[in-house]
Structure 1
Amino acid sequence: MATDVKAIGSTGNWQFNGIVDVFRKTLKSDGIAGLYRGFNIRLAEFGMMGAVSAGLKPWKQHYSSLLQNNVFSRHMVKFGFGICANMAIYPLDTVNKRMMMTSGAVKYKSTRQAIAQIMKTEGLKSFYSGAGAEILSCAVYKGTVLLIIYVADVIRAAKEKNDYCSRSTMEGSLRQMTRH
C-alpha cells in the first residue's frame, strides 16, 4: 500500500482498495514470491538484532546497575544502547524496505544483488537514509515511557499523601474523642 502514493500523484485514483485487494493484486502480478519479497533479509535482520542485543546486554546491565536509583539516567542508557543496536541493523532494514517497495517491477533478483546494486549506485550512505527518523521514533517512544512512569509516580505519591492525611486526621480525631 506504500506504492499507493505514487499512483495517487499520477492518476488521482487509489491503486488498492484495502489489504485484501493488496494481497489479490500482488498475487496476480508477482505470484506467491511477491508476498514474501524481502522476507529472507527480514529473517537475517531479526537474527542480527538478537545477536547485537545479546552482545550489548551485559554492558547495558552494568551501566543500568550503576544508575539504579536514577530512573531517567537508567532509561537514557537503555535508549543509547537501543539506538546502537538499531543502527547496527539499519542497513538490513533499508534493503528489506527497498525489496518490498518493488511490487510489480522487480528491481532485485536476490538480497545479495540488492545490496550490491544499492552500494554501487548510491553508496554506503544510502543504507542509512531515514536513520534520523528511526532515532526520533525511538526517542519519542522512550520519552513516552518516561512520561508514563513519571505520571504513575505522581499519582502514587498523591494517593499515599491523601491516605496518610486522611488516616492521621481520623486517628487524631479518635484520640481527641477518647480523651474527653
Structure 2
Amino acid sequence: MNASTSRPQSLGQTEINWDKLDKTKFYVVGAGLFTGVTVALYPVSVVKTRLQVASKDVAEKNAFSVVRGILKTDGIPGLYRGFGTVITGAIPARILFLTALETTKVAAFKMVEPFKFSEPTQAAIANGIGGMSASLCSQAVFVPIDVVSQKLMVQGYSGHAKYSGGLDVARKIIKSDGIRGLYRGFGLSVITYSPSSAVWWASYGSSQRVIWSLLGNRAEFKDATPSQLTIMSVQAFGGIIAGATASLITTPLDTIKTRLQVMGHEKRPSARGVVEKLIADDGWKGFYRGLGPRFFSMSAWGTSMILAYEYLKRLCAKDE
C-alpha cells in the first residue's frame, strides 16, 4: 500500500517523492525560500529565547513586554540579533536536513509496508523516522549556530555579556572552553530536537492523511481533483497541528537546553543545576517559560515552512 493508491483516487496525488525532484533546483531555490521564512519569523525566536533565560527579577514577564523592551532599547534591529550567524549556518544545515528527511522517509515507507498499518499510522511512522534522522544529521551544524546566535539574542539582557558579533562570541567561547564550548548542550539538543522533529513530522504526515480521508467522503471531492487552495489548506492545517503537538511535548527540554547554552563561561551550570534553579524560581511551570512564543514559533514556522517546502517540491518536480 502506498500514499498514492490508498488515498481516495479523486483527491489525486499531492505528494512528490525524492526521486521526482530536480535536486540542483531544489537546493538553490530552497535556500532562497527558507531564508525568506526565517526573516519573517526570526523575531519570535529572539523573544522566546529571552523569556527562557530571564532571571527571576527581570520585569518582562510576557512576550509583549519583551518586544516593547527590545524596540525601546534597540529598535527593529534588536529583533534580529544573531540573524547573520543563523543564516550563515542555516543553509548547509537545511540542505543536510532536507536530504536526510526525504531519503529516510522513502526508505521508512518501504520498511513499514509489510506490516499493513493504516495509512495515517504508516505515514506517522515513516515521517517520524525521517524527521528524527534528519534532525540527528543536522545537529552537528545547528548546535554551534544555536550557541552563538542565542548568546547574541540575549546579550546585555538580564545580566548577560555583550559581544561585537558572531565571530567575537565564537572566539570567546573557544578561548574559554575550546571547540567543545560550541557544542554546549549538544546532548540536550539531540534529545530535544530529534524527538521534536519526529513528533512534528509524524503529526504532520498522519493528520494530513486523516484530513484527506475525511475530505474524500464529501460529495464535492469524490469525482474531482483537489484545487491548489485545498491542498495548501490541508498542508497548513497539518502544520498547525504538528507545531502544537511538538511544542507542548518538548518545551521543557528546550528551556533547559537554552539556559545551558547561554549561561556565562564562568558559571558553567550543569543540566541538574538549571533544573533546580528553574524549580526554585518558578516551580514546575518554569519549564514552560516561553511556551507561548515557542508554540507560535513552531506552528507559524512549521506551517510557513511546510507550505514553502511543498511549493518548492512542486516547483522543482521533474517533467514527466
TM over 0.5: yes
What SS class does the counterpart of residue 5 from structure 1 fall into?
Answer: coil
Provide the alpha-carbon RMSD of the alignment.
3.6
Query: Are 2:148 and 1:23 equivalent residues in the alignment?
Result: no
- The answer to whether the Cα contact below 8 Å between 1:91 and 1:127 also exists between their aligned partners in 2 is yes
Which residue pairs with 1:2 in the alignment?
153
Kindly, what percent of the aligned residue pairs are identical? 26
1:1-180 aligned within 5 A: 1-6=152-157, 15-53=162-200, 56=203, 59-66=206-213, 67=215, 69=226, 70-71=230-231, 72-109=233-270, 111-141=271-301, 142=303
Instruction: Describe the shift of the 1:54–1:2 C-alpha distance in structure 2 as closer, same or farther (beyond 3 A).
Output: closer
Structure 2, gaps ≥5 residues long: 1-151, 217-225, 311-320
CA distance in 2 between counterparts of 1:144 and 1:114 reads 32
Amino acid at match of 2:258: K
Deviations 1:96-116 (A, max 9, x none): 11111102232522x244234
- Measured at CA, do residues 20 and 114 of structure 1 come closer, stay the same or move farther in structure 2, by a change above 3 Å? same
Distance 2:163 2:292 in 1: 30
Runs of 5+ consecutive residues of structure 1 not aligned to the other structure:
150-180
Larger gyration radius, structure 1 or structure 2: 1
Higher relative contact order (CA 8 A, sep 6+): 2
Report the AA paired with residue 199 of structure 2.
V
User: Which amino acid is 2:166 matched to?
Assistant: I
Report how many residues are paired.
145
User: Does structure 2 retain, via aligned residues, the 8 Å contact 1:99–1:108?
Assistant: yes
Compute the displacement of 1:117 (Å): 3.4
Which whole-Å deviations, capped at 9, do the CAs of 1:141-167 have from their partners, x for residues lacking one?
Answer: 4368769x9xxxxxxxxxxxxxxxxxx
What is the one-letter code of the residue matched to 1:62? Answer: R
